[in-house]
Amino acid sequence: MLFSLTGASGAGKSTVLGHLQDVDWGVPIRTVEFDSIGVPDDADTAWRHGAIEHWVQQAIEAESDGAHLLLCGQVPMGELLAAPSADRLDGIAVCMLHCSPGVREHRLLDRGEDPAAIVHHNRFGEWFRAHTLDPAHAPEVIRVPSTVAMQWSRWDGIEAGDPRWRAAIVDTDSLYPDEVARIVEQWLRRELAEGSRRSRERA
């Protein structure tokens, strides 16, 4: 399976991933950061489409080796589901970390972000949460022309609450990193168990 730990900048993804890398899951899980492939200066939404497809293919390779992939990065669920090779995965599970605009501003300024960019991070963060709740919310933000053959039709017509559009959302405003990590660990263990159950049923 591909497990996506996602959310906009400042939500706490990278910090949590550091806590999760030493967890004994009982099965092989490869943990990777989305940006570890390198992000060009002119990276845009179309570039992200290609990067997401790259990581989906890495997850398929992990599955062939009997492992799962835990991907940490800004990966909107609609883009992940529409990645050309996503339908070859055994499964996809999404956990989105979210924080309020005020908390995001504080966190980003603390790590040296340009103050002029904060408003854009906050707009994207609010869209990110709304998109994760409802695929019909402003899909044009991600459905842009690109050289990647994105399969947007996979979620055309899906409405909020549809089991095919499912994600856990964790509000990190009032939580310490280790608390968020425990919540994410519990989520991933539940998804592992559910994935194992589905595999047994298919056998």
pLDDT in tens, 64-116: 999 999 999 999 999 999 999 999 999 999 999 999 999 999 999 999 999 99
Main-chain phi, psi angles of 198, to 5 degrees: -65, -40
Digit-coded pLDDT (tens) for 15-34:
898 888 889 999 999 999 99
Q: What is the pLDDT of residue 118?
A: 94
DSSP state of 118: H
Cβ neighbors of 148 (< 8 A, separation 6 or more) are: 46, 49, 50, 53, 83, 84
The CA distance from 62 to 147, in Å, is 25
Q: Which strand ranges, in their side-by-side order, compose the sheet holding 68-72?
A: 29-33, 68-72, 2-6, 92-98, 168-171
Digit-coded pLDDT (tens) for 137-152:
999 999 999 999 999 9
Q: How many domains does the chain have?
A: 1
The CA distance from 131 to 81, in Å, is 13
Residue keyed to tokens 């339908």:
87
Instruction: State the residue range of the domain holding 145.
Output: 2-202
What CATH number is given to the structural domain containing 94?
3.40.50.300
Digit-coded pLDDT (tens) for 140-192:
999 999 999 999 999 998 999 999 999 999 999 999 999 999 999 999 999 99
Structure tokens, 113: 């972000």
What SS3 class is residue 170?
Answer: strand
- Burial code (b: 16+ CB inside 10 Å, e: under 16) for 110-120 equals eeebeeeebee
Nearest to 87 by CA among 148, 150, 168: 150
Cβ neighbors of 160 (< 8 A, separation 6 or more) are: 133, 134, 135, 136
What SS3 class is residue 58?
Answer: helix
- Contact between residue 188 and residue 25 where contact means Cβ atoms under 8 Å apart: yes
Least confident of 108-112, 130-134, 193-197: 193-197
Quick one: pLDDT band at residue 49, thresholds 50, 70, 90?
A: very high
- pTM of the shown model: 0.93
The CA distance from 162 to 177, in Å, is 30
The one-letter code for the residue type at 181 is A
